[in-house]
Each structure stands twice: as structure tokens, then as C-alpha cells.
Chains A and B, each alone.
Chain A
Amino acid sequence: MNDKLDERLMTAQDGTVVNIEPEKKIVADMLWRGIKVAPVWLILSLLVWGTDGVASAAYGIALVFANFIAAAALLTWAGRISPGALMFAALGGFILRLVVLTIAVIAASKISVFAPVPLGITIIVSHLGLLVWETRYVSLSLAYPGLGPSNMTPKKCKEIK
């Protein structure tokens, strides 16, 4: 185990090792699921809104992914410093990300293929959809933050216990 990995892990009083920086894992899970579902959404956008719609939907998905990655990176970085920095990163990061999103959309609005309706719908659907999907897995496995119950049959769970 190298030093970099040690920073993320902490030994609890009962001896179990817990990951205290689960943000990266959560975002990796969400991105992986997003990448799997994105083609379906893009095909739907192409059918409903045409080529402009698919370009805007792809841009919306990219914005949502970037937003999640930025949030995880900021919180992970700040969490290593202090609880105060975590608070600052959460609130400052929220404002910063909204400003960056606004600038990104205003910049994209100058492009001819920009379509606001597919972009807006994609941003809301992908953000909420990925979150709900992830929450479903996390709520099933709070003991192992950020881990999905992949292939976790009751038998396997018993074996682990």
C-alpha cells in the first residue's frame, strides 16, 4: 500500500479500514453509468430534436460530467486540509461551478447548432438521473461508501461477514 492510498484510508476503533475520501469513487461510478446510458439519450435526442439537438444534448452531458468531477475534486482536495476548507470548498465551489456553467452556456449559445431546450432538459435529466441511480446503490451499501452492490448475492454478503 503506498502513501497516496494511505491518505484515503483510516482505521476505525474496531480495526476496520474505511475510505474517508469516497467522492472520487462515487463520481467514477456515476460517470461509468452515464457513459453507458449517454448513447441511448443521444439517439433519442437525434430522433426528437435532430442534429442540433444531439449536439446540444452531448454538450449538456459533458457539462454535467464536468460539474460532478469538479465538485468531487474540490471536496477531496479541501477535505485533506481542514473542515473549514471543506465548508469553503462546498459553498465557494457551488458558486464557482454555477459561474463556469453560465459562461460555458453563454459561450456555446454563439454556435449555430446550439439548441436551448435539449440542452436544458439534458442537464436536468442527466444530473438528477445519475444522482438517483447512484443513491440507490449507496443506500444499499452505506457500510462501504460509494460501492455498488455489484454481484453481491446474499450468499456472497454472508461470506464477507
Chain B
Amino acid sequence: MIDLLAQADTAVDGLKAVGAGLGYGLAAIGPGVGIGLVVGNAITAMARQPESAGMVRTTMFLGIAFTEALALIGFVVFILLNFA
């Protein structure tokens, strides 16, 4: 009985690790797409209006950082599942 409980415990730990890794990976997909869109559109804007490059790059940098926050939330979930 004790052996069975120990095995179940190990299985739960394993599933936790798999879930954490999977969640982190899935959470990084959306921001990846988002950053691609932000930078792609910023480059288009800079090509059309080079004199507004500073403004575009400011907005782009903040956009990237905001989008990255989503991945960081996934990262924090990964930390909590693995180490808490």
C-alpha cells in the first residue's frame, strides 16, 4: 500500500513537471506571434515614414515588452508548479 502511494506521488510529480513545461511552451506561442506582428508592422511603418522611426520604435519596444509579459506569466506558472 505504501509502495503504491509512493508511486502515485512520483507520478503526480512527473505530471506536474510535464504540465509545467507544456504550459510554459504554450504560453510562449502567443507572445511569439504577437511580437512578430508588432515588429513586422513597425518595420512597415518605418519604411513608409522614416522620419517617424523614433516614435515607431518607442511604441514597438513597449509593445514587445507588453507582449512578453504574457510569456512571463507562463514562466511564473512554470516556476510555481515546479518549485512551490
Q: Output the nearest chain B residue to A147 by Cβ-Cβ distance.
A: B58
A87 to B71, CA, bound (A): 18
B17 within 8 A of A: no
A90 to B80, CA, bound (A): 27
Q: Which residues of B contact A143 (CB under 8 A)?
A: 55
Chain B binding surface SS class: helix
A12 to B24, CA, bound (A): 43
Contact A10 B58, CB 8 Å, known A94-B71, A116-B79, A123-B72: no
A34 to B78, CA, bound (A): 25
Tell me the A1-35 residues at the B interface (CB within 8 Å). Answer: 10, 12-14, 18-23, 26
A148 within 8 A of B: no
Tell me the A68-92 residues at the B interface (CB within 8 Å). Answer: 68, 71-72, 75, 79, 83, 86-87, 90-91
* B53 engages A10 (CB within 8 Å): yes
A131 within 8 A of B: yes
* A145 engages B55 (CB within 8 Å): yes
* B61 engages A23 (CB within 8 Å): yes
Q: Output the nearest chain B residue to A83 by Cβ-Cβ distance.
A: B43
A18 to B61, CA, bound (A): 17
Q: Which residues of B contact A135 (CB under 8 A)?
A: 62, 66
Q: Which residues of B contact A101 (CB under 8 A)?
A: 75
Contact A145 B58, CB 8 Å, known A12-B51, A90-B35: yes
A134 to B36, CA, bound (A): 22
A residues near B (Cβ < 8 Å) are 10, 12-14, 18-23, 26, 68, 71-72, 75, 79, 83, 86-87, 90-91, 94-95, 97-98, 101-102, 105, 109, 114, 116-117, 119-121, 123-124, 127-128, 131, 134-135, 138, 142-143, 145-146
B residues near A (Cβ < 8 Å) are 24, 28, 31-32, 35-36, 38-40, 43, 46-47, 50-55, 57-59, 61-62, 64-66, 68-69, 71-73, 75-76, 78-80, 82-84
